[in-house]
Amino acid sequence: MQAVTFEGVGAVAYRTVADPVLTGADEALVRMEAAGLCGSDLHVYRGREPGPDPGTPLGHELAGTVVEAGAAVRRFRPGERVVAPFSTACGDCFYCRHELPARCERGALFGFVSGGAGLAGCQAELVRVPLADASLVAVPPSVPSELAVLAGDVLATGWFGAASAGAAAGSTVAVIGCGAVGISAVAAARELGAATVFAIDPVAGRRALAERFGARGVMPEAAPAAVRAASDGRGADAIVEAVGSPAATALGYDLARPGATLAAIGVHHEPALAVAPGALYDKNLTYRAGRCPARAYLERALALLASERYPFAELVSHRLPLAAAPRAYAAFDRREPGWSKVVFHP
Ligand SMILES: [Zn+2]
Ligand SMILES: [Zn+2]
């Protein structure tokens, strides 16, 4: 099959690799219809994280159709359209039973094979899905695969951010960073009943899109005053930080009212938290962080896409064949204007 493979820092290739085959009775083989290119694919592309073995198919955002199911798979048959979270989960271990499938004892992240062990990615024509019954979710007929692909990471992570930050009925929520995940957090905060959602980003086009999801767009410099003006001078009840930088952490702290929760869903690489322990103490601030338990949000995410209450299709800036991946990675890496969310159609 054809796949997009990791070849080294700054290098991906579109090339032929061996077709995946089922290696266990609980696995399914999925023919890809849509595969997302994600900001976290760039962490290995840029060498900010140790990369997978050269030749590993990349990608962890997937929607497609089951073409083969192992003997122990009960919930899915060939021909069914499915999505998966970005990492598989068993549904049965301590963490899966405690709504933390991202830390499943048997799960694996798609697109990461190291030393020969791990799971190949989905920027490919086919992908092997272990733990298929617990990992896969059927896609409602009205949701096209190109939208369904947003459920397993982008929308799940945004929803996790809004929920972790404590977005609730009547609350004032601030979302820092209006990429696809941040805008998904805007939608989720509104679904959770937030009265006002501020969407904070220096890029005008991103703020404008966030406003189409019901947020109030604001520049980072103007955000503290705008949020206080809307909350009797207190600050935000819930802050979703979807950037992953020390400056974003510091801004989130600035925006928080005493007793607020700051949920960091951006991936951080700095060695220490940008806010001092004493500062957290002085605001009674709760700081939450961590990989999204995406499997726990998949049904909600798909139902929201099916509701058509938000223009999620507008999050996708580019729809491309797999062969365009080297160009897409480079453009995404250089933050070329207009490149926000890429969906490959294998
Ligand atoms: Zn992703
Ligand atoms: Zn598990």
Rounded CA-CA distance 138/302 in Å is 9
Identify whether residues 178 and 278 lie together within a single domain: yes
Q: Is residue 242 part of a domain?
A: yes
- Please give the torsion angle defined by the CA atoms of residues 181, 187, 188 and 190, in that order, rounded to the nearest 10 degrees: 150
Question: Mean pLDDT in the chain?
Answer: 96
Q: Is residue 308 part of a domain?
A: no
Rounded CA-CA distance 174/169 in Å is 14
Q: Decide: 184 and 206 in contact? Cβ < 8 Å.
A: no
1-15: average pLDDT:
96
Distance between Cα 155 and ligand 1 center (Å): 10
The model's pTM: 0.96
Q: Is residue 296 part of a domain?
A: no
Q: Which residues contact 335 (CB under 8 A, 6 or more apart)?
A: none
Q: What is the structure's pLDDT at 220?
A: 98
Identify whether residues 23 and 146 lie together within a single domain: yes
Residue 128: how many other CB atoms lie within 10 Å: 21
Distance between Cα 42 and ligand 2 center (Å): 27
Q: Supply the CATH number for residue 279's domain.
A: 3.40.50.720
Closest to 92 (Cα-Cα) out of 109, 112, 81, 106:
106
Identify whether residues 325 and 229 lie together within a single domain: no
Identify whether residues 285 and 246 lie together within a single domain: yes
Identify whether residues 138 and 186 lie together within a single domain: no
Q: Is residue 52 part of a domain?
A: yes
Give start and end residues of each alpha helix (H) in the chain.
39-45, 94-97, 132-135, 145-148, 156-165, 180-191, 204-212, 223-229, 246-255, 277-282, 298-307, 325-333
**Looking at this protein, which amino acid is placed at residue 247?**
A
Q: 55-80, pLDDT tens digit by residue?
A: 999 999 999 999 999 999 999 999 99
Identify whether residues 162 and 284 lie together within a single domain: yes
Q: What is the structure's pLDDT at 47?
A: 86
Identify whether residues 261 and 334 lie together within a single domain: no
Q: Is the pLDDT at 177 greater than 90, yes or no?
A: yes
Q: What is the structure's pLDDT at 338?
A: 86
Q: Is the pLDDT at 335 greater than 90, yes or no?
A: no
Closest to 175 (Cα-Cα) out of 158, 151, 154:
158
Q: What is the structure's pLDDT at 58?
A: 97
Distance between Cα 226 and ligand 1 center (Å): 31
Q: Is the pLDDT at 48 greater than 90, yes or no?
A: no
Q: 109-140, pLDDT tens digit by residue?
A: 999 999 999 999 999 999 999 999 999 999 99
Q: What's the total number of domains in the chain?
A: 2
Identify whether residues 170 and 52 lie together within a single domain: no
Identify whether residues 130 and 168 lie together within a single domain: no
Q: What is the structure's pLDDT at 337?
A: 85
Tokens at residue 269, please? 């690489």
Q: Is residue 305 part of a domain?
A: no
Distance between Cα 94 and ligand 2 center (Å): 7
Distance between Cα 156 and ligand 1 center (Å): 10
Of the bound ligands, which one is closest to the alpha carbon of residue 134? Answer: 2
**Looking at this protein, which amino acid is placed at residue 123?**
Q
Distance between Cα 109 and ligand 1 center (Å): 10
Q: 185-217, pLDDT tens digit by residue?
A: 999 999 999 999 999 999 999 999 999 999 999
Q: Is residue 303 part of a domain?
A: no
**Ion ligand 2: residues, CB < 5 A:** 89-90, 93, 96, 104
Closest to 149 (Cα-Cα) out of 309, 320, 265, 271:
320
Identify whether residues 146 and 164 lie together within a single domain: no
Identify whether residues 115 and 21 lie together within a single domain: yes
Q: Supply the CATH number for residue 140's domain.
A: 3.90.180.10
Q: Could you give the percent of the chain with pLDDT greater than 90?
A: 94
Half-sphere exposure (Cβ direction) of 4: Cα atoms closer than 13 Å: 30
**Domain final residue, candidates 289, 304, 335:** 289
Identify whether residues 18 and 144 lie together within a single domain: yes
| Parent domain of 166 | 157-289
218-244: average pLDDT:
98
Distance between Cα 109 and ligand 2 center (Å): 13
Of the bound ligands, which one is closest to the alpha carbon of residue 100? Answer: 2
Q: Is residue 226 part of a domain?
A: yes
Q: Which residue has the higher pLDDT, 266 or 64?
A: 64
Q: Is the pLDDT at 40 greater than 90, yes or no?
A: no
Q: Is residue 212 part of a domain?
A: yes
Q: 159-170, pLDDT tens digit by residue?
A: 999 999 999 999
